[in-house]
Amino acid sequence: MSIKLSFLGAAGTVTGSKYLLENGSQRLLIDCGLFQGERELREANWARFPVDPASISAVVLTHAHLDHCGYLPALVKSGFRGDVLCSEATADLCEILLRDAGHLQEGDARFANRHGFSRHKPALPLYTVEDAEATLRQLWTIPFHQTQTLPGGAQLRLVRAGHILGAASLKLEWGGVSILFSGDLGRFNDPLMVDPEPRLASQYLVVESTYGDRRHPQSDPQSELEDIVSRTVRRGGTVVVPAFAVGRAQNLLFYFARLKAAGKLANVPIFLDSPMAVNASEIFCHHRKDHKLSEPDCRSSCAVATYMRSVEDSKRLSAMTIPKVIISASGMATGGRVLHHLKRFAPDPKSTILFAGYQARGTRGAAMTAGATTIRIHGEDIPVRADVKNISALSAHADAEEIMAWLKTSNSAPRMTFITHGEPAASNALRLRIESELGWGATVPAQMEVVTLSQTEPVSIARGARS
């Protein structure tokens, strides 16, 4: 017997993770992420879905980042009526993340129409809060380490991937074929998150490659953070940190709490300006098995910042002239309240724009970290005179060495390894290492590529079959 695997996203890019499995007439979707970054990618979110969403029996999520779950309401809007299965923490985070995404979609459309900078007349949201609410009614949680039977008879097992709360690697056994999806792998010896659990044996493997060609610096992110904030404050400036509301924001709060406890940055106010990040921080303390912090450490981390919930509070924050730190979503400066803070502080040479990890090609974050002197926000060209820094040691993604270490946690070699969720250079670098160091067969699939997987026959590849 055989199954088909289609790469509908995260092939040649780090966003839009979607993997379609087909066994006869039965269809399962692994992850359902938004494309982010360059305009061509963002516009792909509006394209007709490659198969009828109503024909998909179920969706399984690896974790709750928008590039893995943020397309779900659009899928539901287009007719998907099956179950969405994920870990308990992932479901809790999706509750806030998808509602917030719908709210932002609606808000961005209203803002574009009011100020007339959209090419579309009128600008419309990809989906609404109502679509997100409908999606949440289809969420079902499954525990780690227990086998779950899916529609069509597929057997599913989740193990922890580190990275963020609830993140999982997924093993599916279906039609006599076993396949493991790594999801986004976390880091070993991370101070907050649990280590990725050992790789499960499988005939086929789909592995991420975000940092497939790089090593994270061995520097201490807490010291870097203290140095950057201290120098900015001495200049009388503000540190604006675009940070993912789920994962990165909690990581930053943890380091700021440690600095404050050590008597550092004592008079520097920390503001968390993202309702979603506020709620995610509260969820963080609820799911103790998903991270390493004690309950007191959780509470102290959450208490280190002043939470800004309302739009009015956010506007007052931008108007404040005192030196401060503003943590605000999104992590690559693609949307949300952080854009208003960037409009205010990016032109200020006393201030610092601090990124904390990977910046996908085509995002404002990538442009600024590459030295852009202007960025376009809400139809305006905003000068960048502030200092721009990136503490890559804060990344929640495994680097190339850590990915290889995870691959080696099982002695069993897959029949084929598919390398996804990375820019072409990163994916190809990881492919070469897997082939040379492990002796495995490995390939970097193209967008819309379809492969046929069986127990005994060689992998059959149909490039562009769904284009």
How many Å apart are CA 300 and CA 306, to the nearest integer? 12
Within a 10 A sphere around the Cβ of 248, how many other Cβ atoms? Answer: 24
**Model confidence over 121-164: pLDDT tens digits?**
787 899 999 999 999 999 999 999 999 999 999 999 999 999 99
**Model confidence over 398-456: pLDDT tens digits?**
999 999 999 999 999 999 999 999 999 999 999 999 999 999 999 999 999 999 999 87
Residue 85 pLDDT level (bands cut at 50, 70, 90): very high
Strands 450-454 and 26-30: unpaired
Distance of CA 190 to the CA centre of its chain: 17
**Model confidence over 344-375: pLDDT tens digits?**
999 999 999 999 878 878 889 999 999 999 99
The 8-class DSSP code of residue 15 comes to S
Global pTM value: 0.90
**Structure tokens given for 447:** 């967008």
**Model confidence over 319-332: pLDDT tens digits?**
999 999 999 977 88
Domains of the chain: 2-214+396-462 (3.60.15.10), 221-394 (3.40.50.10890)
- Give DSSP secondary structure letters for 393-455: GG--S-BHHHHHHHHTTSSPPPSEEEEESS-HHHHHHHHHHIIIII---EE-PPTT-EEEEES
Strands 168-174 and 177-181: antiparallel
